[in-house]
């Protein structure tokens, strides 16, 4: 159970009472305003020649390298070629190699006509950071601060690189360093950094930075909620609850997005009772904050868990409050009805929707396949195509599993023996070892055949050869009476087999 303080037994649902926000006063960073450099066309031959010299002479003495670069410059006889765009293109050629980029940086530094901007310096430290040369990276960050070229992008790049390298003390020191360079401590910048770290699965590092900077930058509700979402995305609900408790102790109230994220995580880790207690507390104390997204989350979970009656009650409550259901919510209800065998009612809901989308059709197909009505599911597949809703890869995988089973279909007729199709696909894709292993498992009856990966099967044939293959397979399947499977393969080969064909698919209504 989630608690306010981990050592206590008070559940998290009691933390949603009325709290007051504390006023915050921070001074945002005021970066130096720089004009955007003029972008001029790049001579590809010049770029290739410079990059070749940097690569071949990266371990040569500096005088020799600079001499060759000057000779290359005079050969093309265009001093204006040494522009910011040219510098960025050189960096793009050496994305993970710091030495050539840094050597070119030293070369252009000696050119009085070239002046670095925040964009060029940020690109430089990005390459240095990716190559994990942390000493040089830290040195360049200090140089950026002295030159007053630091902006929000610099903070994001610096903290992400330092945190990924577990340089946590330097993460905190960077804020102090920038403050000494007249970039004042800023809550807005801290929140951007925390958002970047949490988005990169570095939430533990983000929490460390927030806690160590608390004396200088007081976190607000947005800071805590970003950390909560980061821990929830990582599946660590215990640490997420600790941050939740800390936020509440500071006097902040979790917004509905944080509540939904916590509920979703609790559902995923099968702590359904706690998620529902949290929802019930929201209904009791903050019902006006509940919107469509919260109801959709709860209704979808209830219908998947076979609790259709409770899910429909939530649906009625939502409608009574004047909240219009979207197609995702209706799709959950349709699946819930089909799971209980109430096919007619499910069809009635689907037919009453003016603009059905793929989520509705997926709800119908998934429910019918659960009832082992693969033929009806294929009919829904045909209908969605007629109404201009293009299937996705997930649609085809569901249908193939419904018709052929999760381990593929076995049969005496080679025309409908799915193992023949799969093994042939593996061999043509150059996966002969995987094909041999699959055949060995099927021959040795004592071993269970592993679950069939339809996603890989469709991927192996996603080329022009696959277009022909699917057409031939569909033709053979029709000859033996497997019309449903034939239509599925035929449609995939027609619209999904290659990237160019997927690009020209019609837009969903």
Is residue 257 a part of any domain in this protein?
no
pLDDT in tens, 394-422: 998 899 888 877 655 444 444 444 555 56
With helix as H, strand as E and coil as C, how does 347-397 read? HHHHHCCCCCCHHHHHHHHHHHHHCCCHHHHHHHHHHHHHCCCCCCHHHHH
The pLDDT score that the predictor gives to residue 36 is 46
The pLDDT score that the predictor gives to residue 438 is 59
pLDDT in tens, 4-40: 333 333 333 333 333 333 333 334 444 444 444 445 5
Q: Which residue, chain included where needed, has tokens 């009806």?
A: 376
Model pTM above 0.75: no
| Long-range pairs of 19-22 with CB within 8 A, sequence gap ≥ 24 | 19/248, 19/251, 19/252, 19/253, 20/251, 21/221, 21/251, 21/252, 21/253, 22/250, 22/251, 22/252
Q: Tell me the mean pLDDT in the region 149-175.
A: 94
DSSP string, 99-145: HHHHHHHHHHHT-TT----HHHHHHHHHHHHHTT-HHHHHHHHHHHH
The mean predicted confidence, pLDDT, of the chain is 81
Q: Which H or E run contains 203? A: helix 203-212
Is residue 179 a part of any domain in this protein?
no
Last residue of a domain, one of 134, 149, 164: 149
**Which two tokens mark 25?**
């006063």
Four-residue CA torsion sign, 140, 146, 149, 153:
positive
pLDDT in tens, 326-383: 989 999 999 999 988 899 999 988 888 888 889 999 999 999 999 989 999 999 999 9
Per-residue pLDDT for 2 more than 70? Answer: no
How many domains is the chain built from? Answer: 2
Per-residue pLDDT for 3 more than 60? Answer: no
Is residue 136 a part of any domain in this protein?
yes
Is residue 266 a part of any domain in this protein?
no
Per-residue pLDDT for 266 more than 80? Answer: yes
The pLDDT score that the predictor gives to residue 14 is 35
Is residue 320 a part of any domain in this protein?
no
Is residue 481 a part of any domain in this protein?
yes
Rounded-to-integer distance, Cα 489 and Cα 477, Å: 9
Please report, in angstroms and rounded to a whole number, the separation of the first and last CA atoms in the chain.
44
Q: Tell me the mean pLDDT in the region 201-209.
A: 94
Rounded-to-integer distance, Cα 141 and Cα 149, Å: 10
| Most confident by average pLDDT, 18-32, 56-70, 471-485 | 56-70
The pLDDT score that the predictor gives to residue 429 is 61
pLDDT in tens, 436-467: 665 565 555 544 545 667 777 777 777 777 78
Last residue of a domain, one of 149, 165, 186: 149
Is residue 436 a part of any domain in this protein?
yes
Q: Count how many Cα atoms sit within 13 Å of the Cα of residue 481 in the half-sphere of its side chain.
A: 1
Is residue 348 a part of any domain in this protein?
no
Rounded-to-integer distance, Cα 191 and Cα 213, Å: 12
**Which two tokens mark 235?**
């599946």
Domain containing 60 equals 43-149
The pLDDT score that the predictor gives to residue 243 is 93
Q: What percent of the chain has pLDDT over 90?
A: 41
**Which two tokens mark 81?**
């070629």
Last residue of a domain, one of 84, 115, 149: 149
Rounded-to-integer distance, Cα 138 and Cα 63, Å: 26
pLDDT in tens, 224-237: 999 999 999 988 89
The pLDDT score that the predictor gives to residue 21 is 30
Rounded-to-integer distance, Cα 222 and Cα 237, Å: 18
The pLDDT score that the predictor gives to residue 361 is 92
**Buried-exposed string 14-45: b where 16+ CB fall within 10 A, e elsewhere:** ebbeebeeeeeebeebeeeeeeebeeeeeeee
Per-residue pLDDT for 166 more than 50? Answer: yes
Output phi, psi for 60, to 5 deg. -80, 165
The pLDDT score that the predictor gives to residue 420 is 55
Q: Tell me the mean pLDDT in the region 211-217.
A: 93
Rounded-to-integer distance, Cα 405 and Cα 408, Å: 5
């Amino acid at each position: 159970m989630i608690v306010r303080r981990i050592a206590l037994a008070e559940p998290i649902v009691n933390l949603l009472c009325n709290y007051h926000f504390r006023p915050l006063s921070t001074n945002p960073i005021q970066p130096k305003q720089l004009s955007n450099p003029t972008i001029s066309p790049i001579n590809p031959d010049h770029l290739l020649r410079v990059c070749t010299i940097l690569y071949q002479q990266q371990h040569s003495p500096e005088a020799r390298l600079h001499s060759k670069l000057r000779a290359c410059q005079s050969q093309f006889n265009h001093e204006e070629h040494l522009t910011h765009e040219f510098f960025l293109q050189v960096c793009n050629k050496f994305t993970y190699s710091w030495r050539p980029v840094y050597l070119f940086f030293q070369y252009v530094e000696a050119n009085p006509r070239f002046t670095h901007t925040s964009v060029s310096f940020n690109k430089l430290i990005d390459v240095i950071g990716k190559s994990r040369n942390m000493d040089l990276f830290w040195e360049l960050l200090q140089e950026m601060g002295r030159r007053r070229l630091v902006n929000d992008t610099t903070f994001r790049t610096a903290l992400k690189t330092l945190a990924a390298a577990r340089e946590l003390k330097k993460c905190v020191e960077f804020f102090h360093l920038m403050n000494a360079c007249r970039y004042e401590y800023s809550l807005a910048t801290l929140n951007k950094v925390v958002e970047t770290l949490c988005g990169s699965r570095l939430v533990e590092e983000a929490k460390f930075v927030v806690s160590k900077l608390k004396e200088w930058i007081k976190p607000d509700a947005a800071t805590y909620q970003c950390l909560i979402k980061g821990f929830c995305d990582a599946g660590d609900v215990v640490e997420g609850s600790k941050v939740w408790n800390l936020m509440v102790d500071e006097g902040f109230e979790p917004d509905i997005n944080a509540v939904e994220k916590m509920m979703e995580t609790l559902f995923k880790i099968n702590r359904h009772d706690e998620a529902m207690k949290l929802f019930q507390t929201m209904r009791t104390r903050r019902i006006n904050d509940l919107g469509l997204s919260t109801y959709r989350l709860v209704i979808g979970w209830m219908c998947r868990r076979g609790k259709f009656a409770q899910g429909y009650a939530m649906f009625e409550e939502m409608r009574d409050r004047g909240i219009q259901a979207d197609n995702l919510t209706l799709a959950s209800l349709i699946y819930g009805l089909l799971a209980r065998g109430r096919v007619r009612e499910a069809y009635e809901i689907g037919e009453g929707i003016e603009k059905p989308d793929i989520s509705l059709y997926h709800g119908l197909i998934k429910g019918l396949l659960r009832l082992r009505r693969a033929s009806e599911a294929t009919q829904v597949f045909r209908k969605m195509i007629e109404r201009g809703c293009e299937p996705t890869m997930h649609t085809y995988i569901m249908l193939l599993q419904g018709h052929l089973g999760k381990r593929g279909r076995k049969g005496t007729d080679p025309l409908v023996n799915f193992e023949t199709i799969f093994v042939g696909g593996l061999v043509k894709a150059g996966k002969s070892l995987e094909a041999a292993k699959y055949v060995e498992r099927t021959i040795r009856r004592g071993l269970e055949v592993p679950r069939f990966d339809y996603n890989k099967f469709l991927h192996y044939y996603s080329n022009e050869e696959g277009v022909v293959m699917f057409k031939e397979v569909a033709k053979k399947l029709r000859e033996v009476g497997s019309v449903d499977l034939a239509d599925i393969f035929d449609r995939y080969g027609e619209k999904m087999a290659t990237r160019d064909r997927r690009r020209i698919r019609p837009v969903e209504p």
